[in-house]
C-alpha cells in the first residue's frame, strides 16, 4: 500500500514534466515558424521593390528608345530628301546637256572658228590693200614700213587665232563634249545610287527601331506581369498570415 502511494506522485511528476517539455517544444516551433514567415515576407517585399525599380527603369528606357527612334528616323528622312534633290539635279543637268548644252557648246566653238577665220581674211585683205596702195603712191618710207609691219602682225595673229579655233572645235567635237556628257552620266548614276542607299537605310533604320521598341515594350510587359504576380502572392500571404493570427488570438 505504501508503495502504491509512493509511485503515484512520481508518475504525476513525470507526466507534468513531459507536458511541459511538449509545450516548450510547440512554443519553440511556433516561434521559429513565425521567424521564417517574417523572413519570407521581407524577401517578398524586397523582390517586389526590386521589380518596381526595374519597371520604372524599363519605362524610361522605352521612352528613350522611342525618342531616339524619332530623331534618327527624322534624320534619315532628311538625308533621303537631300538625296532625292541631288538625284533630280543630276538628272536635269544630264538631260539638259544632252538636249541643249551639247549643241550650244558646239555652236559656240564653231562661231569662234568663223570669227577667227573672218578676222584672218579681213587682215589678209587689208594687208593686200595697203601693199597695193603703198606701191602705187609715194609715201614716206618709215610710215609705210610701220603700217605694213602692223598689218602683217595683225594677219599673223589672226591666222594663229584661226588655227587655235580650228583645234578647239576638233577637241570639242572629239572628246570634250563626250567627256562632259560621261561625267554628267556618272554624277547622275552616283546620285541615283545615293538615293537608293538612303531609301534602304531609312527602311532598315525603321525596322531596327521598331524591333528595339517592341523588345522594350515586351520587357516592360513582362516586368508588369511579374509585379502583378508578386503582388498577388504577397496579398495571399498577408491574408493567410492575418487569418493565422486571428486564429491564434482566438484560442483560449
More confident residue, 213 or 23: 213
pLDDT above 90 as % of the chain: 0
Cell of 81: 530628301
Cα distances (angstroms) measured from residue 103 to each of 91, 97, 99, 109, 172: 18, 8, 8, 10, 11
Structural domain contains residue 147: yes
Q: What is the C-alpha separation between 102 and 100, in angstroms, rounded? A: 6
Residue ranges in 137-176 assigned as alpha helix (H) = 141-171
Structural domain contains residue 242: no
Structural domain contains residue 73: yes
Structural domain contains residue 248: no
Cell of 190: 552616283
Tens of pLDDT along 166-191? 888 887 777 777 778 888 888 888 88
Are 251 and 86 in contact by the 8 Å Cβ rule? The answer is no
Q: How many domains does the chain have?
A: 1
Structural domain contains residue 42: no
Model pTM score: 0.51
What mean pLDDT comes out for the span 119-129? Answer: 83
More confident residue, 134 or 205: 205
The b-or-e profile of 146-157 (16+ CB within 10 A means b, else e) is ebeeebeebbee
Mean predicted lDDT score pLDDT of the chain: 75
Structural domain contains residue 118: yes
* pLDDT over 50 (residue 211): yes
Which residue range forms the structural domain that includes residue 226? Answer: 66-234
The predicted structure's pLDDT at residue 40: 61
Amino acid at each position: 500500500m505504501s508503495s502504491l502511494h509512493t509511485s503515484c506522485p512520481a508518475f504525476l511528476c513525470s507526466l507534468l514534466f513531459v507536458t511541459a517539455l511538449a509545450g516548450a517544444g510547440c512554443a519553440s516551433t511556433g516561434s521559429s515558424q513565425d521567424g521564417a514567415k517574417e523572413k519570407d515576407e521581407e524577401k517578398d517585399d524586397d523582390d517586389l521593390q526590386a521589380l518596381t525599380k526595374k519597371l520604372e527603369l524599363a519605362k524610361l528606357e522605352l521612352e528613350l528608345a522611342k525618342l531616339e527612334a524619332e530623331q534618327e528616323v527624322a534624320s534619315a528622312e532628311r538625308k533621303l530628301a537631300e538625296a532625292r534633290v541631288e538625284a533630280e539635279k543630276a538628272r536635269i543637268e544630264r538631260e539638259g546637256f544632252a538636249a541643249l548644252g551639247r549643241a550650244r557648246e558646239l555652236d559656240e566653238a564653231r562661231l569662234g572658228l568663223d570669227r577667227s577665220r573672218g578676222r584672218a581674211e579681213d587682215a589678209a585683205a587689208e594687208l593686200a590693200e595697203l601693199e597695193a596702195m603703198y606701191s602705187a603712191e609715194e609715201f614716206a618710207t618709215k610710215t609705210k614700213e610701220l603700217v605694213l609691219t602692223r598689218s602683217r602682225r595683225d594677219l599673223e595673229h589672226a591666222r594663229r587665232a584661226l588655227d587655235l579655233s580650228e583645234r578647239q572645235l576638233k577637241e570639242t567635237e572629239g572628246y570634250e563634249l563626250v567627256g562632259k556628257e560621261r561625267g554628267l552620266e556618272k554624277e547622275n548614276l552616283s546620285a541615283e545610287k545615293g538615293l537608293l542607299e538612303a531609301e534602304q537605310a531609312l527602311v532598315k533604320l525603321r525596322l531596327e527601331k521598331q524591333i528595339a521598341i517592341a523588345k522594350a515594350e515586351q520587357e516592360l510587359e513582362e516586368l508588369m506581369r511579374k509585379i502583378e504576380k508578386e503582388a498577388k502572392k504577397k496579398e495571399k500571404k498577408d491574408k493567410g498570415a492575418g487569418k493565422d493570427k486571428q486564429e491564434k488570438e482566438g484560442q483560449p
